[in-house]
Amino acid sequence: MKQVTVTIPATTANLGSGFDCLGLALGLRNEVRLTAVPDNLHITIGGEGADKLPTDETNLVYRASERLFERVGKRPAGLHIHQHNNIPVGSGLGSSAAATLGGLTAANILVDGGLTGTELLQLATEMEGHPDNVVPAFYGGLTLVVMAGARLHVEQITVPAMRVVIVLPDFDLPTAEARAALPAQVPLADAVFNIGRAGLVIRALERGDFGALALAMQDKLHQPYRVPLIPGLADASVAALEAGAAAVALSGAGPSLAAFAPEGHKRIAQAAVKAFKLAGLNGRFWILPVDNQGCQSAIINLH
């Protein structure tokens, strides 16, 4: 029997102005373990979301594995899936990207599917609908992804060691709802506002230039429409900045907040949690290093 374990980092996508294009991998990992067994499907889940994620054929890791098996035309007789999640579900930290990528990558190794990293990322993007979480989760670090039709052009940008504050309010905001809040068209001036700033996010992060990040992470394409959906988020952003954050951004489609600072991370996190509390929401926080490893895998042949 063959067993494959893949670990996948959390990601914070968009980074303010880089909507649907930029993403940064963070040091908080989910584990996906696939074991080829003689028969049946068996799915177990531990950690974040264990009480609410499905363990039937609607499970995302299972659906991703199935997608891979269908694509390569090979499958094990039976499959045991075990997930251990550290990434909070529905938080804007790429938990569904991690499940999708974990299932695809582990299944590809399990059946010697032979798909390349680029092919896995294309499949993951088809399943996710957008590539800005799956690409940094796969490669680690800061990534820029440009879609040319179905083809992904990826740039990996090295960033110096830094820690990112993530504050997650206890509030349910499905990505589909957060996307539905966005306009179909934006004014030219808003597009121009973001283009320059998205380029500046890359330069500021690669230089560790926190001074430039405040300007760089300003955004007119998604945050103005999404922030009002999340109680206390605007106040939590102000509180984080007043506590010393250089820049703040909605993490992915939210509801969590990412704050960037050279120091004082705990103070910043506590200030944002307090602001959410005043709006009636409990919050949790993490202080996470940038992850430079991306998706990691290990194979065991069991007898």
Tell me which residues touch ligand HSE (CB under 6 A). Answer: 13-14, 20, 130, 132-133, 175, 178-179, 222, 252-253
Residue 285's DSSP bridge partners are: 167
Please say whether the beta carbons of 111 and 69 come within 8 A: yes
Q: Smallest distance, Å, CB 14 to ligand HSE?
A: 5
Q: Smallest distance, Å, CB 130 to ligand HSE?
A: 5
Helices 265-278 + 233-242 axis angle, to 10:
150
Distance CA 293, CA 81 (A): 23
Smaller CB separation from ligand HSE, 13 or 236: 13
Smaller CB separation from ligand HSE, 120 or 134: 134
Smaller CB separation from ligand HSE, 173 or 240: 173
Q: Smallest distance, Å, CB 19 to ligand HSE?
A: 6
Identify the CA nearest to 97 among candidates 135, 59, 154: 135
CB contact set of 181 (below 8 Å; sequence gap of 6+): 225, 226, 229
Q: Smallest distance, Å, CB 207 to ligand HSE?
A: 24
Residue 283's DSSP bridge partners are: 169
| Cβ atoms within 10 Å of 242's Cβ, excluding its own | 11
Smaller CB separation from ligand HSE, 13 or 106: 13
Q: Smallest distance, Å, CB 10 to ligand HSE?
A: 11
Smaller CB separation from ligand HSE, 35 or 122: 122
